[in-house]
Amino acid sequence: MNQKKNRLTRMFNIERLRMRIALCLLGTILCGIAVGFFKFAAFGVDPFTSLVSGLDMISPIEYGMLYIVINAVLLLVSLIFDRHMIGLGTIANLFLVGYLAQYSQQFLTSVLPAESLIARIVCLLLGIVGLCFSCGLYMPANMGVSTYDAIAIIMEKKWHIGKFKYNRIATDFVCVIIGTILYVMSGEPIRSVTAIVGIGTIITAFFMGPLVDFFANNFTKKFFLKD
C-alpha cells in the first residue's frame, strides 16, 4: 500500500515538474513575442524594454545581444541577494526574449502595414495582454524568473519594501525615466521617442503588476498548478 502511494506521489511530482517546465518555457516565448508586438505598434514599449531601447540608441551592440548584457548585470544582483530567483526561467529569459522580440517585430513589419493605425492599436493591445499573461504563466511555476522581475520580488521578500505589484510599478517608472533620458540624449526626433515611451508604456507601468497577479492567481494557479 505504501509502495503504491509512494509511486503515485512520484508520478504526481514528475507530472507537476513537467507542467512547471512547460509553463516556464511557454511564458518566456510569449513574453518575447509580446515585446515584438509592442515594438511594432510604436505606441511605447513596456517599461523594461524602454530602458533597453534607450541604451540601444547609444550602444553599438545589436538589440538581442544588448538585452543579454543588461540582464547579465541584473543577474548579478539576484545572485547576491536571492539565488532562489535563478532557474530555468531566468536562463530562458536571458537568451530568448531579446531575440524573439527582435525577430517577431521584423516578421510583423514584413506582413502588416506600419502606417495602419488599426493594426498598430491591435498589436499594442495584444502586446499588453500577452506580456502580462506570459509573466502570469512562468512566475508561478517557480522555475526562476527574469532578472528584471526578480528585482521587485527581492524588494518584497528580502528587503521588506511593499508588495510585488507596487514595487513593480516603482521599478517600471525608474526604467521609463532612464529610457526616456537616454533616448532624448541620442538626438532622435520626438516622434521616435514616443515610439519607445508612449501610451503603451504608461499603461503597463500602472497596470502590469496587478495584471500579472490576476493572471497568475486566476488562471495559472487555478487550472495548471492546483495544490
For residues 213 and 164, the answer to whether their CB atoms sit within 8 Å is: yes
Assigned domain for 55 exists: yes
Residue-by-residue pLDDT tens, the chain, 227 positions: 555 555 545 555 888 888 999 999 999 999 999 999 988 998 887 888 888 888 888 888 888 888 889 988 998 988 888 888 888 888 888 889 888 998 999 999 999 987 789 999 999 999 999 999 999 998 888 888 888 888 988 998 888 888 887 888 899 889 988 988 888 887 766 556 666 778 888 888 788 888 998 999 999 998 888 76
Assigned domain for 3 exists: no
pTM score > 0.75 for this model?
A: yes
* Domain of residue 196, residue span: 21-223
Structural domain count, the chain = 1
Assigned domain for 180 exists: yes
Assigned domain for 176 exists: yes
Give the three-class secondary structure for 146.
coil
Assigned domain for 142 exists: yes
For residues 152 and 164, the answer to whether their CB atoms sit within 8 Å is: yes
Assigned domain for 7 exists: no
Assigned domain for 11 exists: no
Assigned domain for 8 exists: no
